[in-house]
Amino acid sequence: MSEPGKLRNYINGAYTDAADGRTTEVIDPATGEVYATAPLSAAADVDKAMAAAAVAFESWRDTTPSVRQLALLRIADAVEARARELVDVECRDTGKPRGLTAAEEIPPMVDHIRFFAGAARLLEGKSAGEYLQGTTSFVRREPVGVCAQVAPWNYPMMTAVWKFAPAIAAGNSVVLKPSDTTPASTLLLAEIVGEVLRGLGLPTGVLNVICGDRETGSLMVEHPTPAMAAITGSVRAGIQVARSAAKDVKRVHLELGGKAPVVVFEDADIAAAVEGITAAGLFNAGQDCTAATRVLVQHELHDEFLAALTKAVAATRTGHPDDPDVQYGPLNNANQLAQVAGFVQRLPAHATIETGGHQVGDKGYFYSPTVVSGLKQDDEIIQNEVFGPVITVQRFTDEEQAVAFANDAQYALASSVWTRDHARAMRMSRRLDFGCVWINTHIPLVAEMPHGGFKKSGYGKDLSAYGFEDYTRIKHVMTATAG
């Protein structure tokens, strides 16, 4: 096991240090203080993890769907049983409130693992048939091979599940790298998976976790062993992964940034909209690619809505993860704090800070819940992802302008519409150019429905049968039957 204050890579069912002994510091964002070190993995460590995954794949791909289902169900049970431990390490790495993390992340994680356990036995394809006289054809769905996966720091353990669960359910093996600022919960998940696999007599190299920085991630993607690279991260990181993967034509799965428009029409239930948008805009300190932070309000409702939203946001509390009354914790790291503060500091003269707009306290990376109004469509804070507890509010005149403003962004991951008019909601769901459109709600996700975007938000889906199928390849088999 990892020692207190010293995290280690998890390769082939065992903890191990980086080959050259190099480490990075892991900082508690609630205090700004170093609490542990983690390996800074280099080429030798990547080689070791890829070799373990490749060996495991040789037998794992030949397991039956029922065996993979059983393994995943046991993993889900083990995650549930060790929930308190997972929450402890997650909150230490991220600063998230403990109560919210236990209630809002553990149950979906367990549910998602169980969903993919079931999906392992429900691969669909075209039925066998005679499409050419004297022959019979059928389609095989097969695992793609070893998968190199990179996860972000905003939802470390949740995203780790989204990455490894569909991949191993489909018969692949995985080398996963968590963010260098949040490695602890992913390592614990790997330990849980390894213990379950070992107990079932299955290969422990099915899931390997190595720690490191961007260079480590690049080495994973460029390595000749993986057949597929999957990343959740920034647009810049996604472009780098796609460019590196193109060198040997690896498959690529990208879930990148977002700038979700939240379109509030004049007939919306204002109380419900304010409550839902406040929660969805500030959850996890706004560090969510689907966060409800770009609000567009019809002119007739704008002033009343802005006043109500400002009041609700101002009443939202940020603080230490042990405080049961806070709605969100600190930003994840010093660089992210500087980024969020920079957006607010660079606001144009025509913008108004209705509430917030400043760092909270002199310890840790806390930022106040913030509302900014008076913005124009081409303002930096409207066009670029802030990834913090900052909600912007703009006016629009009619449905045409709402659609134009909403779609005028480089990102296309998620959006929402708030209206009592069903026909309008249906029109907007068709016209909004985003991978998800919520109606009179914002941010809920379920295992059965896909999560993924268009444009610079990437391609490929997490969750759902579509996300599962992304980790398979299709093979046509034809046999002669004449004679």
CB 359 within 8 A of CB 368: yes
CB 190 within 8 A of CB 91: no
CATH of domain 261-446: 3.40.309.10
Q: Tens digits of per-residue pLDDT, 95-153?
A: 999 999 999 999 999 999 999 999 999 988 788 999 999 999 999 999 999 999 999 99
CATH of the structural domain 9-256+457-477, one choice from 3.40.630.10, 3.40.640.10, 3.40.605.10, 3.20.20.70:
3.40.605.10
Cα–Cα distance, 77 to 80 (Å, whole number): 5
The pLDDT of residue 126 is 83
Q: For all residues of the chain together, what is the average pLDDT? A: 97
Determine whether 51 is exposed, middle or buried from the number of CB atoms within 10 Å of its CB (0-12, 13-18, 19+): middle
The low-confidence residues of the chain, meaning pLDDT below 70, are 1-3
Strands 23-28 and 33-39: antiparallel
Q: Tens digits of per-residue pLDDT, 165-183?
A: 999 999 999 999 999 999 9
The pLDDT of residue 2 is 58
Q: Which residues are catalytic?
A: 255, 289
CB 53 within 8 A of CB 389: no
Residues 6+ apart with CB under 8 A from 410: 235, 259, 383, 455, 456
Residue whose C-alpha is closest to residue 72's, from 106, 120, 108: 120
CB 276 within 8 A of CB 322: no
The pTM (predicted TM-score) of the whole model is 0.96
- Kind and range of the H or E element at 221? helix 214-222
Instruction: Please name the residue ranges forming H helices in 329-446.
Output: 334-345, 380-383, 399-407, 422-431
- Entry field: residues in the chain: 483
Instruction: Please name the residue ranges forming H helices in 7-82.
Output: 43-60, 65-81
Q: Tens digits of per-residue pLDDT, 314-351?
A: 999 999 999 999 999 999 999 999 999 999 999 999 99
What residue ranges do the domains of the chain occupy? 9-256+457-477, 261-446
Nearest 5°: CA angle at 72, between 68 and 73? 115
CB 75 within 8 A of CB 193: yes
The pLDDT of residue 322 is 95
